[in-house]
């Protein structure tokens, strides 16, 4: 008999380049603490607390009862692709053909497959910081090199055309734009996008991955502007990525989509055909109903988020040492905690960085947040206000008491 060994599995080299998602890890830690009986006020998860609207759930049930439980085309059902195209006209005023649409198992999958389809070893991807935690690891997993573009408070933590110009090289393949952004909630204005477009016109090889998953969660009165609408001549170089998770409270349905050049869309579809085959047929029916149905659900959600944002801002601004950034959209607050670094906890530990701050808030205040270093910017922490006002108010009060206890 051949002896069995626990060392038979050796991870592929690509895994050494990436780390588990910090936000997923934070959520898992919160669940562990709750399971152990700890009371934790959770501000980590970027997930609407509302249930999926009834008309969307009914559409899914109707699809099951009608037997729509089989494989679909790799890039989604014709009905869903038509609904996506109509939605893009409604929000951006931009028309796409059927061949320019792909559908995947969440926006994250579409982003990953786009990078897989286009990156060769050594290709560079410009990632403005702060950034969504998964961008750098997605790039690394697909043998690319993330190039971080630091942003500042002076520019509202948005990439400037001048900074972009300085970072572009002959190896640059993609620029990632996320607007409204996670974790800052910053929205690029039309003039800012126009200036970036001017730079891109001088560098025709560079593609733009425009992550617009929070596009309609905007506190400006209209959806966030899109580069394809501001600079239609660059349309063939821009992949617009979105989904139904955030706007329609459908995170668990795992349905995302993208619009872009047919050649790139075909490449993404080829990869999907060899991975998940197609998105869930039931989720597609639900997503079509979401996009086709009454859009007041988004308007109502945005007003709820606005109330929660304002409550969190008012409370956090009263806490010495914390400076929250007021977001234009999405449902996050990125909080500058530089004023807490170097202070001492009641048990004698010195807060050396933002991870120390988040651990202190978890242990002493029972409030779970995510450290800014996970987003490429320190010392900050991120909170999600996609939860009820009572939880936000209690969390802010607990944070304030914990800060007051510092020496």
Tens of pLDDT, residue by residue over 160-196, are 999 999 999 999 999 999 999 999 999 999 999 999 9
Same domain, 208 and 100: yes
pLDDT score of 3: 53
- Give the domain-ending residue among 293, 327, 343: 293
Query: Does residue 33 surpass a pLDDT of 90?
Result: no
Give the mean model confidence (pLDDT) for residues 14-24: 75
Please indicate, yes or no, if residue 366 is contained in any of the structural domains: yes
Where among 293, 321, 352 does a domain terminate?
293
What are the CA-CA distances from residue 124 to residues 121, 146, 170, 206, 207 (Å)? 9, 6, 9, 10, 11
> According to the model, what pLDDT value does residue 229 have?
97
Give the domain CATH number at 222: 3.40.640.10
Residues 235, 90, single domain; the answer is yes
Predicted local distance difference test score (pLDDT) of residue 269: 97
What pLDDT does 8 receive? 79
For residue 290, give the nearest of 64, 15, 58, 21 by alpha carbon: 58
Give residue 398's Cα distance to chain centre.
27
376 and 263 both lie in a single domain: no
Q: Which two tokens stand for residue 290?
A: 């979401």
Contact between 180 and 187 under an 8 Å Cβ cutoff? The reply is yes
Q: Residue 21: is its pLDDT beyond 80?
A: no
Residue 166, number of CB atoms within 10 A of its CB? 10
Which of 293, 323, 348 is at the close of a domain? 293
Quick check: is 1 in a domain?
A: no
The pLDDT value recorded for residue 20 is 73
**Which residues form the domain of 382?**
13-51+297-404
38 domain-assigned: yes
Is residue 328 pLDDT above 60, yes or no?
yes
pLDDT higher than threshold 70 for residue 23: no
- The phi and psi torsions of 162 (rounded to 5 degrees) equal -65, -45
Tokens read off for 397: 């009060």
Buried/exposed code over 13-32 (b: 16+ C-beta within 10 A; e: otherwise): eeeeeeeebbbeebbeebee
Helix, strand and coil percent figures for the chain, each rounded to 5: 45, 15, 40
Please report the pLDDT score of residue 330 as a whole number.
98
Identify whether residues 170 and 319 lie together within a single domain.
Answer: no
The beta-carbon contacts of 359-363 under 8 Å, at least 24 apart in sequence, are 360/402, 361/398, 361/399, 361/402, 362/29, 362/33, 362/40
pLDDT in the model for residue 261 = 98
Beta bridge partners of 126: 147, 175
The answer to whether residues 32 and 85 belong to one domain is no
Query: What pLDDT is recorded for position 4?
Result: 57
User: Does residue 5 lie in a domain region?
Assistant: no
Q: Per the structure block, which two tokens stand in for 176?
A: 């990632």
Number of separate domains in the chain: 2
Do 185 and 264 lie in one domain? The reply is yes
For residue 21, give the CATH number of its domain: 3.90.1150.10
Does residue 103 have a pLDDT over 80?
yes
Q: Which helix (H) or strand (E) holds 312?
A: helix 296-317
Nearest to 180 by CA among 294, 288, 335, 325: 325
CA distances to 132, 169, 208 from 261, rounded to whole Å, are 24, 23, 11
Q: Say if residue 279 is in the same domain as residue 189.
A: yes
Tokens of 173: 């393949």
Residues 281, 302 share a domain:
no
- Which tens digit of pLDDT belongs to each residue from 199-224? 999 999 999 999 999 999 999 999 99
Query: What's the average model confidence in pLDDT over 52-78?
Result: 97
How far apart CA 229 and CA 227 sit, in angstroms, is 5
Residue 232 in any domain: the answer is yes
Among 6-10, 245-249, 292-296, the range scoring the smallest mean pLDDT is 6-10
When pLDDT is cut at 50, 70 and 90, the band that residue 5 belongs to is low
pLDDT in tens, 250-308: 999 999 999 999 999 999 999 999 999 999 999 999 999 999 999 999 999 999 999 99
Whether residue 111 lies inside any domain: the answer is yes
Q: Could you tell me if 216 and 341 lie in one domain? A: no
Whether 356 maps to a domain, the answer reads yes
Would 136 be classed as within a structural domain?
A: yes
Q: pTM for the full model? A: 0.93
One domain, residues 184 and 273 = yes
Pair (389, 375) in one structural domain: yes
| Whether 269 and 346 share a structural domain | no
Q: Which of 43-47, 191-195, 241-245, 379-383 has the lowest mean pLDDT?
A: 43-47
């Amino acid at each position: 008999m051949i002896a069995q060994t626990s060392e038979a599995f050796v991870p592929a080299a690509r895994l050494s380049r990436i780390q588990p998602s910090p936000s997923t890890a934070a959520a898992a830690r919160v669940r562990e603490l709750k399971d152990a009986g700890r009371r934790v006020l959770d501000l980590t998860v970027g997930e609407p607390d509302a249930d999926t609207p009834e008309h969307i759930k009914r559409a899914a049930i109707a699809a099951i009862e009608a037997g729509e439980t089989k494989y679909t085309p790799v890039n989604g059902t014709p009905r869903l692709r038509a609904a996506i195209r109509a939605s893009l006209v409604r929000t951006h005023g931009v028309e796409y053909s059927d061949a320019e649409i792909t559908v995947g198992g969440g926006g994250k999958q579409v982003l990953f497959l786009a990078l897989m389809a286009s990156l060769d070893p050594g290709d560079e991807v410009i990632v403005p910081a702060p950034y969504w935690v998964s961008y750098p690891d997605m790039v690394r997993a697909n043998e690319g090199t993330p190039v971080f573009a630091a942003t500042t408070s002076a520019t509202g933590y948005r990439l400037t055309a001048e900074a972009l110009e300085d970072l572009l090289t002959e190896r640059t393949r993609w620029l990632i734009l996320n607007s409204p952004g996670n974790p800052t909630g910053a929205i690029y204005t039309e003039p800012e996008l126009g200036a970036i477009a001017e730079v891109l016109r001088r560098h025709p090889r560079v593609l733009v991955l425009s992550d617009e998953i929070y596009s309609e969660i905007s506190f400006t009165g209209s959806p966030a502007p899109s580069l394809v609408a501001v600079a239609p001549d660059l349309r063939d170089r821009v992949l617009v990525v979105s989904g139904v998770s955030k706007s329609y409270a459908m995170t668990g349905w795992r349905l995302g989509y993208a619009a872009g050049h047919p050649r790139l869309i075909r490449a993404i579809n080829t990869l999907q055909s060899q991975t998940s085959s197609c998105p869930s047929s039931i989720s597609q029916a639900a997503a079509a109903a979401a996009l086709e149905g009454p859009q007041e659900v988004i308007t109502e959600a945005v007003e709820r988020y606005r109330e929660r944002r304002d409550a969190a801002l008012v409370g956090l601004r009263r806490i010495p040492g914390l400076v929250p950034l007021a977001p234009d959209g999405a449902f996050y607050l990125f909080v500058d905690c530089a004023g807490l670094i170097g202070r001492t906890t009641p048990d004698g530990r010195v807060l050396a960085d933002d991870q120390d701050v988040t651990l202190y808030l978890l242990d002493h205040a029972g409030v779970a947040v995510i450290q800014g270093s996970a987003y490429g910017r320190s010392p900050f922490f991120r909170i999600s206000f996609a939860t009820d006002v009572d939880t936000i108010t209690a969390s802010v009060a607990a944070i304030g008491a914990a800060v007051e206890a510092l020496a």
